[in-house]
């Protein structure tokens, strides 16, 4: 497989090159030259692989379609090393949790996917939360009022896909754990080192730091918006004392951090001199790893290849749902891809109107789903590249020129815009603080399940798009403990805390506050690594 840039550079590159390179030299994002196609027979075979051999084997099968410069036995070993019950808490790695329908369907086990084949081997969140969660779950399930008749349709085939049972309690671990192992493998093979520059609104940062800490030849410089992450997220990152981890709190919002990452990456001399790489979803490897759990979710929610499912995805940087787009382009029978935003509704606005209008930092709201406080969605460029027939020159004109000059572009009159829903399956919606609280309360009251504020945004919007006969899978993107204040506000009690995070907020911190200036970040990097 070769990769090319969304902004027109068609120099063919291999996977391991773009893994280390991150952003393309022309400022674009890397995309595969084509999407390998999965027909019904192949999908059936993949279902059998997943059922009989598990998530790591499925990951290997899918990744091999895109990676032909790592020998197959090595790639398989990397997948097996990454996706283990020890790291992700359950044998299923991304179990589906059925919300409701127990009484409506008359089945026994609340937690077992009724159509799926890969039964979770544990109660919800047992990997991260332990026995207590399981007991509460069982108690709550038995004390539920009967689901009102009018809600049965709504709740039939309504699932959460658990993606947040990894080391840092957010879906980012799913890809970041693999990335850590891929980087280590490839750097050792080349005898090289890498300085990773990343931007986080709260979850990418800790996932990357936990995945890279102690790894030979890797340093991490992680930019975060000063004072805007939850106390738990700050503690997760800033309490790390490893010499190869550098936390830089930037006086700005997430978009300022991401802009700095791109500006540094676009200074090609600096990038080469200091061997700068990326771990954000601008790195194709992140997206590729995320494609796998769309397949795993599909296999659990369906019994045959003739069935379709929809996914609802809490969205900010458009990386997670873009992986769903890739899965759909490969032929996974996805009906709708529901883009759920918070009050920072740039993406919802585009999918409703055709106008993509990025917001300035001062217009980016500080919300109770803070990891989605993003107003410039990096991966959106990847979807527009596909939507516009992979016309790199046009994508460049929109993302490099129109956005810089006017802060927006308008595709409402373009015939392609009509295909957004009909051909690509995208729909969208928005969730506010009040929606979030109401959804957290509702899901807890009905099902005894506590969901985090981002997942709540996904559930709220998903409910607007449920269709009879099509399972709806909401991606659970974080665990509630990361956002305890909102859970307290919604439910009046503390979310459960995994024992390993007890007292994390009181640990000594290592963090440097810097203004949102590219040069200051470059100076810091130059001082802390050898050229
Ligand atoms: C908890 C959580 N939910 C949702 C999102 C949005 O995902 P994406 O940026 O891939 O759209 C993020 C951050 O990216 C997140 O950390
Ligand atoms: N919500 C993210 C923002 C960065 O997203 P990424 O997927 O591009 O790394 C975060 O938690 O940092």
**Among residues 81, 97, 149, 172, which one is catalytic?**
172
Can 172 be counted among the known catalytic residues? Answer: yes
Rounded to whole angstroms, the maximal C-alpha distance in the chain is: 66
> CA–CA separation, 215 vs 331, rounded Å?
36
Exposed (0-12), middle (13-18) or buried (19+): which is 469, by Cβ within 10 Å? exposed
State the average pLDDT over residues 219-233: 97
Q: Give pTM, 2 decimals.
A: 0.91
Ligand 2 center from residue 49 Cα (angstroms): 30
Ligand 2 center from residue 259 Cα (angstroms): 13
* Inter-residue contact 190 to 166 (CB < 8 Å): no
* Inter-residue contact 431 to 457 (CB < 8 Å): yes
pLDDT of residue 118: 37
Work out whether strand 218-225 and strand 194-199 pair parallel, antiparallel, or are unpaired: parallel
- Residue 301: alpha-carbon gap to chain centroid: 20
**Terminus-to-terminus CA distance in the chain, angstroms?**
32
Is 318 a pocket residue for ligand 1 (Cβ < 6 Å)?
Answer: yes
Give the pLDDT band of residue 136 (cuts 50, 70, 90): very low
pLDDT tens digits along 159-184: 999 999 999 999 999 999 999 999 99
Is 372 a pocket residue for ligand 1 (Cβ < 6 Å)?
Answer: yes
pLDDT of residue 128: 40
Ligand 2 center from residue 27 Cα (angstroms): 19
3-state secondary structure of 86: helix
* Inter-residue contact 346 to 356 (CB < 8 Å): yes
Domains of the chain: 285-491 (3.40.50.1100)
Q: Is the pLDDT of residue 258 over 70?
A: yes
Question: CA angle 387-390-392, nearest 5°?
Answer: 120
Q: Hey, which residues does 428 pair with through a beta bridge?
A: 339
Q: Which atom of ligand 2 is nearest to the CA of 205?
A: 12
Is 375 a pocket residue for ligand 1 (Cβ < 6 Å)?
Answer: no
ipTM: 0.99
pLDDT tens digits along 478-527: 999 999 999 999 999 999 999 999 999 999 999 999 999 999 999 999 99
> CA–CA separation, 266 vs 260, rounded Å?
10
Q: Is the pLDDT of residue 456 over 50?
A: yes
Ligand 1 center from residue 317 Cα (angstroms): 7
Is 478 a pocket residue for ligand 1 (Cβ < 6 Å)?
Answer: yes
Ligand 1 center from residue 170 Cα (angstroms): 9
> CA–CA separation, 381 vs 325, rounded Å?
13
Rounded CA Rg of the chain: 22
Question: In this structure, which ligand is nearest to the CA of 236?
Answer: 2
Q: Is the pLDDT of residue 475 over 80?
A: yes
State the average pLDDT over residues 439-451: 96
Is 170 a pocket residue for ligand 1 (Cβ < 6 Å)?
Answer: yes
Is 458 a pocket residue for ligand 1 (Cβ < 6 Å)?
Answer: no
Q: Which of 169, 172, 237, 265 to mutate to test the pocket of ligand 2 (most atoms within 8 A of CB)?
A: 172
Q: Is the dihedral of CA 329, 331, 335, 338 positive or negative?
A: negative
**What residues are in contact with ligand 2 under a 6 Å CB criterion?**
200-205, 280-281, 316-317, 319, 371, 378
Q: Is the pLDDT of residue 103 over 70?
A: no
- The full DSSP string for 12-73 is -B-HHHHHHH-S-TTS--EEESSPPP--HHHHHHHHHHHHHH-HHHHHHHHHHTT--SS-HH
pLDDT tens digits along 305-346: 999 999 999 999 999 999 999 999 999 999 999 999 999 999
Please state, in angstroms and as integers, the Cα–Cα distance from residue 509 to each residue in 52, 55, 198, 224, 421, following that order. Answer: 45, 36, 19, 14, 46
State the average pLDDT over residues 206-217: 94
**Ligand 2 atom 1 nearest Cα:** 371
Is 477 a pocket residue for ligand 1 (Cβ < 6 Å)?
Answer: yes
- Residue 125: alpha-carbon gap to chain centroid: 18
pLDDT of residue 332: 98
Helix (H) / strand (E) containing 449? none
Is 340 a pocket residue for ligand 1 (Cβ < 6 Å)?
Answer: no
State the average pLDDT over residues 277-289: 97
> CA–CA separation, 212 vs 179, rounded Å?
9
Ligand 1 center from residue 449 Cα (angstroms): 20
pLDDT of residue 224: 98
């Amino acid at each position: 497989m070769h990769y090319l840039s969304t902004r027109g550079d068609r120099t063919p590159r291999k996977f391991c090159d773009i893994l280390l390179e991150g952003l393309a030299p022309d400022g674009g994002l890397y995309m595969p030259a084509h999407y390998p196609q999965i027909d019904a027979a192949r999908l059936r075979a993949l279902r059998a692989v997943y059922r009989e051999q598990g998530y790591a084997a499925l990951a290997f099968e899918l990744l091999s379609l895109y990676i032909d410069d790592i020998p197959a036995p090595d790639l398989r070993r990397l997948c097996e090393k990454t996706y283990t019950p020890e790291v992700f808490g359950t044998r299923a790695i991304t179990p589906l949790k059925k919300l409701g329908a127990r009484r409506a369907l008359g089945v026994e086990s609340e937690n077992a996917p009724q159509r799926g084949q890969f039964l979770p081997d544990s109660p919800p969140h047992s990997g991260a939360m332990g026995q207590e969660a399981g007991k509460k779950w069982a108690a709550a399930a038995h004390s539920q009022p009967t689901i009102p008749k009018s809600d049965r349709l709504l709740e039939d085939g309504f699932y959460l896909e658990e993606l947040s049972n990894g080391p840092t309690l957010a879906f980012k671990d799913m890809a970041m754990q693999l990335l850590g192992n891929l980087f280590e493998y490839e750097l050792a093979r080349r005898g090289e080192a890498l300085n990773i520059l990343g931007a986080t609104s709260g979850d990418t940062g800790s996932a990357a730091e936990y995945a890279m800490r102690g790894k030979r030849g890797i340093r991490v410089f992680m930019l975060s918006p000063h004072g805007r992450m939850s106390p738990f997220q700050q503690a997760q990152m800033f309490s790390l004392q490893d010499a190869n981890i550098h936390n830089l709190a930037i006086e700005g919002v997430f978009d300022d951090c991401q802009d700095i990452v791109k500006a540094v990456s676009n200074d090609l001399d600096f990038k080469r001199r200091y061997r700068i790489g990326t771990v954000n979803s601008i790195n194709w490897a992140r997206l590729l790893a995320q494609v796998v759990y769309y397949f795993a979710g599909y296999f659990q929610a369906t019994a045959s290849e003739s069935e379709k499912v929809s996914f609802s995805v809490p969205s900010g940087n458009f990386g997670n749902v873009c992986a769903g787009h890739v899965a759909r382009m490969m032929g996974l029978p996805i009906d709708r891809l529901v883009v759920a935003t918070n009050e920072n509704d740039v993406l919802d606005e585009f999918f409703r109107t055709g106008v993509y209008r990025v917001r300035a930092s001062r217009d980016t709201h500080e919300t109770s789903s803070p990891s989605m406080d993003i107003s410039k969605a990096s991966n959106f460029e990847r979807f527009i590249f596909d939507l516009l027939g992979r016309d790199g020159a046009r994508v460049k004109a929109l993302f490099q020129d129109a956005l810089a000059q006017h802060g927006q572009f308008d595709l409402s009159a373009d015939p392609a815009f009509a295909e957004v829903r009909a051909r690509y399956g995208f729909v969208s919606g928005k969730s506010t603080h009040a929606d979030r609280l109401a959804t957290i309360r509702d899901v807890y009251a009905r099902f005894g399940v506590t969901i985090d504020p981002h997942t709540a945004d996904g559930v709220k919007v998903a409910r607007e798009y449920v269709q009879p006969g099509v399972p709806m899978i909401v991606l659970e993107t974080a665990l509630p403990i990361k956002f305890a204040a909102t859970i307290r506000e919604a439910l009046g009690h503390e979310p459960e805390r995994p024992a390993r995070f007890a007292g994390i907020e009181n640990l000594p911190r290592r963090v440097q506050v810097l203004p949102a200036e590219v040069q200051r970040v470059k100076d810091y990097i130059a001082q802390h690594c050898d050229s």
